[in-house]
Amino acid sequence: MSLQRRNVDLTGLNTLALPSRAACYVEITTPPQLFAGELKQAPRFVLGDGSNLVLTSDFDGLVVHMAIAGRQLLSEDTDAWYIRAGAGENWHDFVQWTLGQGWPGLENLSLIPGRVGAAPIQNIGAYGLEVGECVHSLNAWDFEKRCFLTVDRKDCRFGYRDSLFKQEGWHLSGRMAIASVLFRLPKRWRPKTRYTDVTQELAAREITSPTPRDIASAIIAIRQRKLPDPAVTPNAGSFFHNPVVDRSIAEKLGSDYPSLPRYPQPDGQVKLAAGWLIEQAGWKGKSLGPVGMFEKQALVLVNHGGGTGADVLRTMAAVRAAVHEKFGVALTPEPIFL
Ligand code: EPU
């Protein structure tokens, strides 16, 4: 029996709440369902929670919605716990579950929207931690070769909001679907609290020796204060990457704008705060039609209601133009455009 449905509304399946319909749609809840020959159909798009996605029009292809559940401690040795989670697990629930089990390490990534299977694709990161640091390996289904493959962390080529899956274009072509992720969480835990927001939040709570749960709780509070809840105000998190520029450009900008946040990178380049650039370019809390930049965090693009993919593209272009005109810096969008 075919699991596919036709002409499916995707509006509730993307956190920007953009209207779009998929010609075909299938929900995958168990790995064997991936063997179905009909899933070879192209074009194909692999969907999680749609929390990093801009739907620009209807999709005349097959949407494969990954909903494989399951989470378990696979093994442990003297150094680490090895925990496997299905691609369809909710990311935040998974993180809180690991903390509840006494396996710390992912607490800095609390409250990030999305599912486990999507986390390695753009190497989600926040408050001084990127998920790639905690991935041991992952299991992905290759729709063309029709087999599962295991990809070790070193082969995932993790970078800032980047991985093998993006570099090879598989996130757009629907070639691969991550079915499960194996995490390695070291038993020697050290708090990652150097990020200013986290330091300040813990100080305000008078916590000097934070537990993993203290850090999760602080980060949840910070995110709730700064970032819009997609269930209330549709958004896709940070809409642009923080741009990385040559040191000479950063120095010139820094002398013109001393308050510009600059983060030197190990390779000598400098990461700039896109939120700051957008705010200074006059876009914090500003909208073009129904789509604008959030009033408390200018890096987050929000749909105030009724916005479409075309509205998102219009606002995105206006923001990029304003930042480029004022600072000469090109912003790269973070979400996937379908
Ligand atoms: N800033 C402004 N105005 C703004 C927003 C930010 O001046 O409207 C300044 C802040 O004052 C700060 C700097 O820019 O000095 C950085 O801001 P923030 O700490 O809020 O972090 P971010 O660089 O804007 C990044 C990630 C977030 C992640 C936070 C915390 C990217 C693209 N975004 O944001 O990730 O949660 O750091 O680590 O790297 C996401 O990817 O969806 C996301 C939310």
* Tokens (6 digits) for 28: 């995958």
Report the alpha-carbon distance of residue 319 to residue 288 in Å, rounded.
10
Out of 107, 238, 287, 320, pick the active-site residue. Answer: 238
Whether 107 is catalytic: no
pLDDT at 99 over 70: yes
Report the alpha-carbon distance of residue 180 to residue 70 in Å, rounded.
9
Contact between 326 and 281 (Cβ < 8 Å): yes
Contact between 33 and 3 (Cβ < 8 Å): yes
| Pocket (CB within 6 angstroms of ligand 1) | 126-127, 197, 237-238, 241-242, 261, 273, 275-276, 279, 284, 297-299, 334
What's the chain's Rg over C-alpha atoms?
A: 20
* Tokens (6 digits) for 20: 């779009």
- What's the pLDDT at 36? 84
Strand order through the sheet with 300-303 = 235-238, 300-303, 291-293, 287-288
Question: pLDDT grade, residue 301 (50/70/90)?
Answer: very high
Question: pLDDT grade, residue 1 (50/70/90)?
Answer: low
6 Cα to the center of ligand 1, angstroms: 39
Which ligand 1 atom is at minimum distance from the Cα of 294? 8
At residue 141, φ and ψ (nearest 5 deg) are -95, 130
Residues in the chain: 338
pLDDT tens digits, residue range 158-182? 999 999 999 999 999 999 999 999 9
**DSSP symbol at 36:** -
- What's the pLDDT at 116? 98
Whether 334 is catalytic: yes
Our CA dihedral for 232, 237, 239, 245, rounded to 10 degrees, sits at 150
Helices (H) and strands (E) in the chain, counts: 8, 20
Question: pLDDT grade, residue 233 (50/70/90)?
Answer: very high
298 Cα to the center of ligand 1, angstroms: 9
174 Cα to the center of ligand 1, angstroms: 29
108 Cα to the center of ligand 1, angstroms: 14
Which residue owns the Cα nearest ligand 1 atom 41?
Answer: 238
Q: Choose the weakest-confidence range: 37-51, 294-308, 316-330.
A: 37-51
Which ligand 1 atom is at minimum distance from the Cα of 298? 8
Mean pLDDT of the chain: 97
Sketch out the chain's domains with CATH numbers: 5-66 (3.30.43.10), 71-186 (3.30.465.10), 196-226 (no CATH), 235-337 (3.90.78.10)
Task: Give the DSSP H/E element, type plus range, for residue 98.
Answer: helix 91-100
Which ligand 1 atom is at minimum distance from the Cα of 122? 41
Report the alpha-carbon distance of residue 128 to residue 126 in Å, rounded.
6
Average pLDDT for residues 94-117, to the nearest whole number?
98
pLDDT tens digits, residue range 25-71? 999 999 999 988 778 888 999 999 999 999 999 999 999 999 999 99
Contact between 247 and 270 (Cβ < 8 Å): yes
Choosing from 238, 262, 323 the residue with most ligand 1 atoms within 8 A of its CB, the one to mutate for a pocket test is 238
Average pLDDT for residues 82-90, to the nearest whole number?
98
Out of 161, 175, 223, 320, pick the active-site residue. Answer: 161
pLDDT tens digits, residue range 120-136? 999 999 999 999 999 99
pLDDT at 186 over 90: yes
DSSP assignment string, 171-205: HHHT-EEEEEEEEEEESS------SHHHHHHHHHT
Average pLDDT for residues 251-259, to the nearest whole number?
97
Whether 161 is catalytic: yes
Choosing from 265, 299, 300, 329 the residue with most ligand 1 atoms within 8 A of its CB, the one to mutate for a pocket test is 299
